[in-house]
Amino acid sequence: MNVSPYKNTQYFSVICLISVIGLLGIWVLPNTIALRHVFLGIGFISSLAVIYKSNFFARRNFGDILPLFLLSLVFIWALVHYLFFSLNPNLELQELKSIWARSLAGAVIAIGLSIALRIQKDLRPWFFISLFLVSWINLAAYFYLSYEEGRFILPSEFVWKFVFKKIEAAFFGVIAISIACANLVNIMSQKLDKKSIIYMALWFLAITTAIISSLVANTKNGVAVALGLCVLLGLTLIYMACFKAAASRMRIFIPVAIVCLMLLASWKVHVQFATQGWGTLIEDIQISSQLDQHNFWRFNSPNWNKVHGESFPTNSRGLPVAGNTYERVAWATQGMILIRQYPMGYGSINRSFAGMLNHAGIRQELENQTHSGWIDFGLAFGIPGICIFLILFSCIVYLGLRNNDQFGLMGTWLIIGFIPFGIIAEINYKHNFEILLFFIAFAAASSIRFKDPQKQFS
């Protein structure tokens, strides 16, 4: 029996999706590198088949595929940097063979996934559900541990009891909420019926789930960016109500009211249980950035006792600067100084901050990143690397808004979520970097207008 090219591509699309669901389920779990390689291998092969059989690149000019060309420059620059600019060639080569190779496979899978989801609409719900796997696992663990304790444990207790780190709950929360916001805007731009109203309710429920997951994980950056995305969603819906037909204003009132309610409730809960720092945030940032007046930033917090002859920085209230704010701001400040001094970068995704500090002869005992993903990437691959990302992001947002379809909006909202989150969270570190490039590749492919699936095979 002959199988049509279109039907054949559908089979590979299903395999591609299964591999992605597997990756989304295990990416943040420790000791799963072998299984991750299995899913990457299966997904890579099936995605190549989807890309080839769908004729996705057929009859396109350079401008049509510009986002994917810019994405390829990220990988090309990594190789060029190793050949000509590396400050630690052995470490950089090791990462090219590991984290960069996995990231490249993930990027190809993400491109295939974007095509697969547009070929088969019935696969989309499974992908959307899988985006919230981390949030559900996180919440299930919280309720289970609370059950064992016989009480609802505090978020500050939970983060030390479960395998997930704060960044992982926050990162996937931002990804999931970005996708949710894009789909809500897409739904609200169309004629509403009973089915679309149900979808809206499910998306709002999904956003609430992701926010609650970030709340119990006690992550400031995750909650801040999640609520920021909700604010932008509310403003977008208000804009649509004002500049669309007058009849649309009433139907948008309820979603806006839901967004406002989520914002208020989430913020009240977070402020009550979060670690210190919100009330004096601006002043703490100013004090923490004055590196010549304190030396605690040179050590991780467990080793702050090594600083002699000075006290921990205090603000105008006489209170110590919040430790988490202090570390992030001080490290980010020093990171930006190093980027200006060494604009071509160090060359390592995982060790550029400490490596660059050592290269510059700066006294320190650090083993971590700056906690600012974009600064970390700037330390790793310099100003050229950052510029490639900025141009790529601008291209995705422009094309996504111009196309104004479901996938274009998803690409746009992903970038809108990544930009602020990358400023305050360590998204360029180990498996987080693989996840980041996966979803940037998905956004890049999704920003490219897709021809009618059936015509792709003619």
- Give the whole-angstrom CA distance, residue 277 versus residue 221: 12
Tokens representing residue 310 in the block? 């000075």
pLDDT at 264: 66
Cβ–Cβ < 8 Å for 312, 345: no
pLDDT at 447: 96
CA-angle at 355, arms to 352 and 359, nearest 5°:
130
Query: Of all helices (H) and strands (E), which one includes residue 265?
Result: helix 248-273
Tell which phi-psi region holds residue 191, choosing left (phi > 0), alpha (psi between -120 and 50) or beta.
beta
pLDDT digits (tens), the chain, 458 positions: 344 556 678 899 999 999 999 999 999 888 889 999 999 999 999 999 999 988 888 888 888 899 999 999 999 999 999 999 999 999 999 999 999 999 999 999 999 999 999 999 999 999 999 999 999 988 898 888 888 888 888 877 887 777 667 788 899 999 999 999 999 999 888 877 888 888 988 998 899 889 888 888 888 788 888 888 988 988 888 888 777 654 455 566 666 666 666 666 665 565 555 555 566 778 888 898 999 888 889 988 888 888 888 888 888 778 888 888 888 899 999 999 999 999 999 999 999 999 999 999 998 888 778 989 999 999 999 999 999 999 999 999 999 999 889 999 999 999 999 999 999 888 988 899 999 999 999 999 999 988 655 555 43
CA separation (Å) from 277 to 286, 321, 348, 367? 13, 8, 31, 24
pLDDT at 457: 46
The residues that bridge with 299 in the sheet, in sequence order, are 365
106: helix, coil or strand?
helix
Tokens representing residue 103 in the block? 């990231």
Q: How far, in whole angstroms, is CA 83 from its chain's centroid?
A: 29
pLDDT at 109: 98
Q: What long-range pairs does 397-403 form, CB within 8 A, spacing at least 24?
A: 397/447, 399/66, 399/67, 399/447, 399/448, 399/449, 400/443, 400/446, 400/447, 403/447, 403/449
Looking at this protein, which amino acid is placed at residue 44? F
- Give the whole-angstrom CA distance, residue 268 versus residue 382: 40
Query: Of all helices (H) and strands (E), which one includes residue 410?
Result: helix 406-424
Contacting residues for 153 by C-beta, under 8 A, at least 6 apart: 142, 145, 146, 161
- Give the whole-angstrom CA distance, residue 216 versus residue 170: 10
pLDDT at 45: 96
pLDDT at 446: 96
Tokens representing residue 199 in the block? 């979808």
Tokens representing residue 16 in the block? 């591609």
pLDDT at 324: 81
Torsion angle, CA of 420/421/425/428, rounded to 10 degrees? -100
Cβ-count burial 99-125 (b if 16+ within 10 Å, e if not): bbebbbbbbbbbbbbbbbbbbeeebbe
Other C-beta atoms closer than 10 Å to the C-beta of 302 total 7
Query: Of all helices (H) and strands (E), which one includes residue 433?
Result: helix 431-446
Residue of 266, 226, 217, 230 lying closest to 28 (CA atoms): 217
pLDDT at 262: 65
Q: Give counts: helices (H), strands (E), the chain.
A: 18, 0
The residues that bridge with 320 in the sheet, in sequence order, are 314
